[in-house]
Structure 1
Amino acid sequence: MTQPQWKLGIHIAGAAVSPQNKQRLPEDSFCRELCLLGHEYGFHVFVFSPLHYDSDTGVLQGYQLHGDQWNFGPCPLPDIVYDRCYYQSRTERMRDKTAMQAMMLRHPWVRLGSQIPGKLEVYRLLLGEPRLAELLPRTVSYRSSSQLLRWLEREPDGIILKPDAGMQGRGILRIWQGPGGLQIQGRNAANRPYAYSFGQKKQPLSSFSRLIAGRSYLLQPYLRLTDDQQRPFDIRVLIQKNGAGRWSVTGTAIRIGEPHVLTANLHGGGRAAPAEPFLQALLGAEATSGIMEKLHQASCSAARRLEQHCGRLLELGLDFGLEESGRLWLLEANSKPGRSLFTLLGESAIARLSHVRPLQYARLLCNRSALYMPQVEAN
């Protein structure tokens, strides 16, 4: 086996794991797979947090895979960084940024892919692409309960409120006016579903305002994105850069929730299904062919548009909704997508490709001598 040419560090949050409890890391199976595959593409792969970098000595400690065990100890400074970090606070983000900048001064490194901004800014960017504008549900910042009431008056199915920086369906709410009064359905911070019914329209608004105080929320119309069994579902498209640096759809799958719940997210109890058989059972073969083509075209357009405005990207997880009429909606974009959907489906070839493509693209960047270009750490 040839000696690895480059060092690839998988960047995780320092608060997520400690040297005393290192049997499993965040996204453990994914990190293990990258470590095992890395040698095939010329990389020594390890996992690190800037929390364990000593700027005085220049020593970085991290996690390296030996057999099936993670060993914590000194690691090389990375040439290229794969950011899989999910921050719990602004303080944690700023602390990591400072450490990464200190590492840059001692040993220049390249970020494999940039982050994208919050949901509202992503919406505004995508809205500027005519081919995507018709797929985007109207989205505005939530400002007041009076604004919410105005929306309820013109949206018979109600409205959706979602955190601008939320993930995995946590904190999302649906509010609508039912026959007996105002209804609220949602998921709490632990991603558990709940529902309330209020006899008077204004009764819950003061409690609601306290519930979301201090967080930035978005307001959207509620869309009926359910199958014939009233189960919410969405379509996840994973699009990644390939070894030639071109955007390519890696895989498409369906997430299905329980009947009459708000979201289909796997972390909230949803399950996975292969995309084409599910859609064919719902819409028929001809309509499914058209939907799949539109999904691929929209995904490529979204990737190119976001990369144009956000800097070099590696991959995106794009979530689409589908109405009974066949109308497609682009709901969200995520620059740090998971891969468990394809593993759950037993689609081992797609799962492996989703692991390989970051390494292929990292090798392309290294071979283009990107490591020796001036670097600007923007995130």
Structure 2
Amino acid sequence: MPVTFPNSKPYRNVGGNDALGILVYERDDDPPFAESSFIRRLNQFGSARGMPLFAFAPWTWEERNGSVKGWSWNDREGRWEPGRRMLPSVVYDRAWPETDAEKLRYRQAVRRLRESVKLVFLNGRLPNKGKVYECLAKNRTFSAYIPPTALFRGSASLSDWLSKHSHAAFLKPIAGSQGRRVVAIVVAEDGTVKLSGRRQDNQPFEVEVANEATALRRIERWIGSRPYIMQPFLELKGDHGEPFDLRALMQKGGDGRWSLTGIAARCGSPGMVTANLHGGGKASSARTMLSRLFGDIRGRELFEEATNMSYMIAVRLENVFGRFAEIGLDYGIDRSGKLWFLEANSKPGRAAMVSAGAEAARAAAEQPLSYARSILLRLATTDTRRSPQGRGCSLATTDMQRSLQGNGYATPGRVIHEFDHL
């Protein structure tokens, strides 16, 4: 049974539309949007619990009558059916625009909606990776888990980074997701350089070049004007050289309290640099994976360490960036058994939760509906996404913090605070 952490304030009673809207990016496909199987499952759960929901693209909103083109799943016919529906007051963002043009279209449509009507977003939105790292690094407990991080500022900055970090680096887009456009650079003793990573379409690549200067030129051309961050190339691999990480899914249910839905291990193929499921990785039991790699005792310790950190990180991110319904947290573990925080995702996938157990898989889909129902029943009169006043990142010391502070990982990672302008 998921454990809970009592930190969220209840909502006040007000009225509102009793349907939940699922924001999607509609295309001329069949089915007409991504994650259709997950949204279909949400639809079925909602119907069984008397909570209607439908999917819609934000640009289908008509201001004159306040309606949108909604997609509902017809279980009897086994198909998605469109129809005009009134714009709901609570929306759950599961849209996945892919190209720059699609992202622009989606942002503009959502902005138009938010400027015209009062909407409650079920989940908040995290800023770029650099700002998340920066916020966490302000606290000593968290900073011990943050890899050294700096902004990529061209070939010279990467060359300097390589000289300080064992001639290897990992670069990723500051606002990327699903492992797209990441690249690792490793300089061998003979001066040759291996570049490996994933393209925009998430296909893997591996290139070997003659020297560092050539590699730096290629990386700079490939990155272009996109903002990237640099980190050490951590050895986050299993016993057969396959990359692996942990995905923890933190969610709120109807009581508005944080709950750990589950932790799963994600494993990529040997030679790959990421373990993302979108990039061909496979999910497995975190407990089994950790026990096999580090032994039963250390495996249990790492699982509990990731559990404790997940609660504290979720609370901290919410205190700073506003309310959330769910957050996905990714961790890596190096060969020495050191746990590293990799990134947080405010639009997490949940396919890996099947490997965390049947209860976790069920809760991953049901928790957002329970939380949405509580909001619809007790909707606040203020925007639930409003961030707290101030920019501080303070967090009172708790028993969990004290236990973690004594775990031997006292050397904080250094984060360069240069992300505010991005």
CA contact (8 A) 1:237 1:299 kept: yes
Task: Give the drift of 1:360.
Answer: 1.0
2:135 aligns with 125
Would you say 1:224 and 2:235 are equivalent positions? yes
Q: 1:331-371: per-residue Cα shift (whole Å, max 9, x none)?
A: 0110111111123x38332111111111111122223232x
2:110 aligns with 97
Would you say 1:32 and 2:44 are equivalent positions? no
Q: Distance in 1 between matches of 2:188 and 2:138?
A: 36
Q: Distance in 2 between matches of 1:13 and 1:25?
A: 6
Q: Distance in 2 between matches of 1:132 and 1:121?
A: 14
3-state DSSP of counterpart to 2:235: coil
3-state DSSP of counterpart to 2:56: strand
Superposition misfits of 4+ residues, deviation over 4 angstroms: 376-379
Q: 1:315-346: per-residue Cα shift (whole Å, max 9, x none)?
A: 11111001121100000110111111123x38
2:331 aligns with 320
Q: Distance in 1 between matches of 2:333 and 2:211?
A: 33
- Give the aligned residue type for 2:62: D
Q: 1:182 aligns with which of 185, 193, 205?
A: 193
Q: 1:151-193: per-residue Cα shift (whole Å, max 9, x none)?
A: 1112115001101111111111111211332221221112222
Would you say 1:201 and 2:209 are equivalent positions? no
Task: Give the drift of 1:202.
Answer: 0.9
Q: 1:7 aligns with which of 19, 30, 41?
A: 19
CA contact (8 A) 1:140 1:219 kept: yes
| Higher deviation after alignment, 180-189 or 63-72 | 180-189
Task: Give the drift of 1:111.
Answer: 1.2
1:256 aligns with 267
3-state DSSP of counterpart to 1:166: coil
CA contact (8 A) 2:264 2:356 kept: no
Q: Distance in 2 between matches of 1:367 and 1:54?
A: 26
Equivalent residues in 2 for 1:332-347 (5 A)? 332-343=343-354, 345=355, 347=357
**What are structure 2's unaligned runs of at least 5 residues?**
1-15, 388-422
Equivalent residues in 2 for 1:140-151 (5 A)? 140-151=150-161
CA contact (8 A) 1:157 1:223 kept: no
Task: Give the drift of 1:5.
Answer: 7.4
- Give the aligned residue type for 1:26: A
Q: Distance in 1 between matches of 2:34 and 2:188?
A: 42
Equivalent residues in 2 for 1:77-96 (5 A)? 77-87=87-97, 88-89=99-100, 91-96=104-109
**Change in CA separation of 1:51 and 1:145 when aligned onto 2, cut-off 3 Å:** same
Q: Distance in 2 between matches of 1:198 and 1:260?
A: 17
Q: Distance in 2 between matches of 1:133 and 1:70?
A: 46
2:72 aligns with 64
Q: Distance in 2 between matches of 1:34 and 1:72?
A: 17
Q: 1:220-268: per-residue Cα shift (whole Å, max 9, x none)?
A: 0110011121111001111111221111110111111111221111122
Equivalent residues in 2 for 1:248-287 (5 A)? 248-287=259-298
1:351 aligns with 361
Equivalent residues in 2 for 1:109-124 (5 A)? 109-124=119-134
Q: Distance in 2 between matches of 1:226 and 1:62?
A: 44
Q: Distance in 2 between matches of 1:233 and 1:162?
A: 17
CA contact (8 A) 1:253 1:342 kept: yes
Q: Distance in 1 between matches of 2:385 and 2:107?
A: 13
1:54 aligns with 62
3-state DSSP of counterpart to 1:353: helix
3-state DSSP of counterpart to 1:230: coil
2:299 aligns with 288
**Change in CA separation of 1:56 and 1:5 when aligned onto 2, cut-off 3 Å:** closer
Would you say 1:163 and 2:176 are equivalent positions? no
CA contact (8 A) 1:64 1:70 kept: yes
**Change in CA separation of 1:377 and 1:319 when aligned onto 2, cut-off 3 Å:** closer
3-state DSSP of counterpart to 2:305: helix
**Change in CA separation of 1:5 and 1:188 when aligned onto 2, cut-off 3 Å:** closer
% identity of equivalent residues: 34
* TM-score, L = length of structure 2: 0.82
3-state DSSP of counterpart to 2:329: strand
Q: 1:67-117: per-residue Cα shift (whole Å, max 9, x none)?
A: 22111110121021111123443522432223322551xxx4321111101
Q: Distance in 1 between matches of 2:252 and 2:167?
A: 39
2:148 aligns with 138
The alignment of Structure 1 onto Structure 2 pairs a total of residues equal to 366
**Change in CA separation of 1:50 and 1:378 when aligned onto 2, cut-off 3 Å:** farther
CA contact (8 A) 2:20 2:90 kept: yes
Task: Give the drift of 1:377.
Answer: 7.5
3-state DSSP of counterpart to 1:35: helix
Q: Distance in 1 between matches of 2:356 and 2:316?
A: 32
Q: Distance in 2 between matches of 1:376 and 1:361?
A: 13
